[in-house]
Amino acid sequence: MGKAIRIIAGLGNPEDKYERTLHNAGFWFVDALARKNGGNFKYEKKFDADSCRIKLHGEEVWLVKPQSYMNNSGQPVRGLLDYYRLGVNELLVAHDEIDLPPGTTRLKEGGGHGGHNGLRDIIQHCGPDFLRLRLGVGHPGEKHQVTNYVLKRGSSDAEAAIERDIDDAIAVMPELVDGDISAAMKQLHTKEQAEE
């Protein structure tokens, strides 16, 4: 049993031109979670983040979208953790993952940033001991193409796969707010194997 999740940060870039880019998959996730649970994001200047509070499985959970651009996601997240007196082990960060294909989602406890600048900045401000929701967006094939790739829209098939991944991830949120990370991981992984 891990620590119950009380704050979920989705990573992305704030301008409209980035809204449907692959790099904003973390924003897509928290937006979907807010829609399904009656949450309305509001900009909070003191955090430089859009945030809202929802009830998930009977528990209050904060949803956060840093508005500081991907590479500076750490300070808004740290500010919210400190303000609400929450530990880093109560944080879930949802982000795009180029090392997984669309249609694959993984939960991961702790670890490095894997070259993801949003994670790198959060680790710098908060340490590495938070849970990650890795939303597969695929890899362009060449390292030098990654930035250009994630800052564009994916194919319609890729977008549809990511949306399905988001639904699958939302389905395991009750386990995460109960602190049962292993059950959430098992449920997510088993569902994906069944779909293959």
Q: What is the pLDDT of residue 1?
A: 43
Distance of alpha carbon 30 from alpha carbon 179, whole angstroms: 19
Mean pLDDT lowest for which of 6-10, 86-90, 141-145?
Answer: 141-145
**pLDDT tops 60 at residue 103:** yes
CA separation for the pair 151, 43 (Å, rounded): 23
- pLDDT above 90 as % of the chain: 88
Paired residues of 62 in beta bridges? 7, 53
- Which residues are known to be catalytic? 23
Q: Which strand (E) or helix (H) includes residue 164? A: helix 156-171
- pLDDT over 70 for what percent of the chain? 96
Token pair 């940033």 in the structure block, residue: 113
**pLDDT, tens digit, 9 for 90 and up, residues 123-133:** 999 999 999 99
**Average pLDDT estimate for 22-34:** 97
pLDDT at position 189: 81
Predicted structure pTM score: 0.95
Give the residue-averaged pLDDT of 157-181: 94
**Confidence bin at 3 (pLDDT 50/70/90):** confident
Structure tokens at 127: 């340490």
pLDDT band with cut points at 50, 70 and 90 for residue 2: low
Is the pLDDT score of 165 beyond 70? Answer: yes
- Residue from 97, 91, 176 nearest 125 by CA: 91
**Residue 11 CA: distances (Å) to CA of 126, 174, 178:** 15, 21, 23
Mean of all residue pLDDT scores within the chain = 93
Give the pLDDT mean for 25-42.
Answer: 97
CB contact set of 123 (below 8 Å; sequence gap of 6+) = 74, 112, 113
Identify the pLDDT of residue 194: 63
Work out the average pLDDT over 180-193: 84
| 108: Cα separation from own chain's centroid | 11
What the chain holds in terms of domains, given with CATH numbers, is 7-195 (3.40.50.1470)
